[in-house]
């Protein structure tokens, strides 16, 4: 299909604004065809007014119809074929195999959410039946379930142009919960965003979704994002991106006359802890796996291992030597866009100029004109990191620092003061774990996912996955942005007291027409009649 560069406001397109921008191929900076119009305040207002119009009709649709919609989205994205991969490759520099795999993940997660919605158990239905004869006061009939909150604004991420963007988990979860979505396209891959949005809109038409269920707006300015989160119709915002950008939007959400939830996945260093037994048994193998994780996708994953922590000594020195060799043998590659490349160069320069940090290895052959990131490794001691909290700030890309701790107490001190993170990894033996239960207990308070004898990159998209963590990893550690539990971000409990059966949602009726699992009178899977 031909790109328009317009806002896609449900069934209509709009290009009111005179300000335009273009996408550039990060490998060489070549400007790509199609000028994209920055959304105006009027267009943003129209998108959210349409979403408000759709909110109740979409929420009231049978769950099976919303599930059909999600499955149709998967089908329509698949039907875009190679055109989608070609444009995404031009805008991001990502190779075709990576993009094909990411498209598969995007399609699979849409179908997984369709299964979740059709199954119906996600609503957490609870029923407490009336006891009119209870003394001293009668007990009323009380029932509750989770329902969609209304219009949602979702920001497309830069590092996953398909799986965490227009039809990413946040969008799919919100739509499945019955929430209209206005997506803010990422300015780094606006053409990819328009293509995927066209697929979502085609699916909406095919399955009879209410007008206003989905819209896409374009924008390269901070003002566009600010207008979306401050619009009075917006009920919740989901964001994946930088700490600075996310915090600015979170502050705007909190400062509104009606504050709203802001679910931001932000910065994370994802420390890897190397325990003595594991280093002794397989230090070189761990180093090889670490370098593979660090350089995967040019280090452009939010779970990239930015810190490695171990006890000072011969084993750690051997690990450093193996890891440095891996860095020197790696190849610089193109980052997603020039802005990320510039931030990476600045971040590496900041580390290089930090007292107490020493360069350990840097890959050769990086070409700035191609937005190449050179994998880089630094070394330091725990005292330096404990004395300078800026060293815990994420450098987005293939850079990491190995931290040597003088003893176990210093290792624990590092864990105790570390910032919140999406993940922490422990490499150890069974004996190591038995001797470091205090480390595990500390890390349980600091991260959303603990990895044992693996690496944090390569997230398994499944119902039990949790992709979030204490601030600054995310703004709400309770919620995830990957896996089917994502849907809870876009819901709230609604309680019905004393309602007649026919007026209740189907999930709460005694007849249980959907056949879902429920809590009845405090018992799971209790009587349903």
Active site residues: 265, 302
Q: How far is CA 387 from CA 50, 359, 383, in A?
A: 52, 19, 6
Residues in the chain: 529
Q: How far is CA 86 from CA 194, 335, 338, 495, in A?
A: 14, 17, 19, 48
Beta-bridged to residue 272, according to DSSP, are: 308, 425
Q: Is the peptide bond before 472 cis (omega within 30 degrees of 0)?
A: yes
3-state SS, residue 277: helix
Cis preceding-peptide flag for 172 (omega within 30 of 0): no
- Residue 338 burial (C-beta neighbours within 10 Å; 0-12, 13-18, 19+): middle
Closest CA to 316 of 402, 434, 223: 402
Strand partners, 376: 362, 399
Residue 417 CA to residue 403 CA, distance in Å, equals 14
- Location of structure tokens 């119906």: 120
* Strands 126-128 vs 142-148: parallel, antiparallel or unpaired: antiparallel
Instruction: Find the helix or strand (DSSP H, E) in which 75 lies.
Output: helix 63-79
491: CB partners within 8 A, 6+ apart = 146, 147, 148, 149, 177
Side-chain-facing half-sphere of 194: CA atoms under 13 Å: 26
Element (H, E) at 145: strand 142-148
Q: Give 77-86's long-range contacts (Cβ < 8 A, gap of 24+).
A: 77/103, 77/106, 77/107, 77/110, 77/162, 77/167, 77/196, 77/199, 78/103, 78/107, 79/199, 80/1, 80/195, 80/196, 80/199, 83/1, 83/195, 84/162, 84/192, 84/195, 84/196
Q: Are strands 142-148 and 30-31 parallel, antiparallel or unpaired?
A: unpaired
Q: Which residues pair with 36 in a beta bridge?
A: 21
Query: What is the distance between the alpha carbons of residues 412 and 219, in angstroms, rounded to a whole number?
Result: 45
Q: Cα dihedral sign for 424, 429, 432, 436?
A: positive
The long-range contacts involving 517-526, CB below 8 angstroms and separated by at least 24 positions, are 517/121, 517/125, 518/125, 518/126, 518/127, 519/124, 519/125, 519/126, 519/127, 520/126, 520/127, 520/128, 520/129, 521/127, 521/128, 521/129, 522/128, 526/127
Count the neighbouring beta carbons within 10 Å of the beta carbon of residue 126.
19
């Amino acid at each position: 299909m031909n790109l328009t560069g317009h806002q896609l406001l449900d069934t209509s397109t709009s290009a009111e604004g005179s300000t335009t921008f273009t996408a550039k191929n990060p490998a060489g900076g070549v400007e790509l065809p199609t000028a994209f119009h920055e959304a105006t305040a009027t267009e943003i207002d129209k998108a959210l007014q349409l979403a408000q119009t759709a909110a109740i009709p979409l929420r009231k649709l049978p769950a099976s119809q919303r599930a059909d919609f999600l499955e149709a989205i998967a089908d329509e994205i698949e039907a875009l074929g190679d055109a989608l991969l070609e444009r995404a490759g031009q805008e991001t520099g990502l190779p075709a195999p990576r993009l094909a795999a990411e498209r598969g993940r995007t399609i699979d997660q849409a179908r997984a959410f369709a299964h979740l919605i059709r199954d119906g158990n996600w609503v957490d239905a609870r029923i407490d039946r009336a006891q009119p004869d209870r003394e001293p006061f009668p007990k009323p009939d009380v029932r509750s379930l989770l329902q969609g909150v209304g219009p949602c604004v979702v920001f497309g991420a830069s590092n996953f142009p398909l799986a965490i963007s227009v039809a990413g988990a946040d969008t799919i979860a919100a739509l499945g919960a019955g929430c209209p979505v206005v997506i803010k396209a990422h300015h780094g891959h606006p053409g990819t965003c328009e293509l995927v949005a066209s697929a979502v809109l085609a699916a909406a038409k095919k399955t009879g979704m209410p007008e206003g269920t989905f819209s896409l707006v374009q924008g390269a300015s901070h003002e566009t994002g600010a207008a979306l989160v401050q619009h009075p119709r917006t009920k919740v915002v989901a964001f994946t991106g930088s700490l600075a950008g996310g915090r600015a939007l979170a502050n705007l959400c909190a400062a509104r006359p009606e504050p709203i939830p802001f679910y931001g996945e932000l910065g994370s260093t994802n420390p890897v802890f190397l325990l003595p037994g594991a280093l002794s048994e397989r230090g070189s193998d761990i180093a090889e796996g670490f370098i593979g994780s660090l350089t995967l996708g040019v280090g452009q994953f939010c779970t990239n291992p930015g810190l490695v922590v171990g006890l000072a000594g011969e084993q750690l020195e051997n690990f450093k030597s193996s890891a440095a060799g891996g860095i020197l043998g790696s190849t610089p590659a193109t980052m997603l866009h020039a802005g990320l490349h510039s931030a990476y160069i600045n971040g590496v320069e900041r580390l290089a100029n930090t007292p107490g940090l020493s360069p350990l290895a840097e890959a050769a052959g990086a070409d700035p004109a191609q937005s190449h990131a050179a994998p880089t490794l630094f070394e330091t001691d725990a005292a330096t990191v404990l004395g300078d909290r800026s060293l815990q700030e994420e450098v987005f890309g293939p850079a990491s620092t190995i931290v040597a701790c003088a003893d176990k107490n210093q290792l624990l001190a590092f864990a105790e003061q570390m910032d919140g993170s999406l993940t922490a990894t422990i490499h150890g033996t069974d004996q190591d774990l038995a001797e470091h239960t205090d480390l595990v207990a500390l890390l349980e308070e600091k991260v959303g996912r603990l990895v044992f004898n693996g690496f944090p990159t390569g997230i398994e998209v499944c119902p039990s996955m949790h992709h979030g963590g204490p601030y600054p990893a995310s703004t709400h550690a309770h919620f995830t942005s990957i896996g089917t539990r994502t849907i809870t971000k876009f819901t709230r409990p609604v309680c019905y007291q004393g309602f007649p059966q026919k007026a209740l949602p189907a999930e709460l009726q005694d007849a249980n027409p959907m056949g879902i699992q429920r809590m009845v009178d405090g018992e799971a899977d209790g009587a349903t009649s």
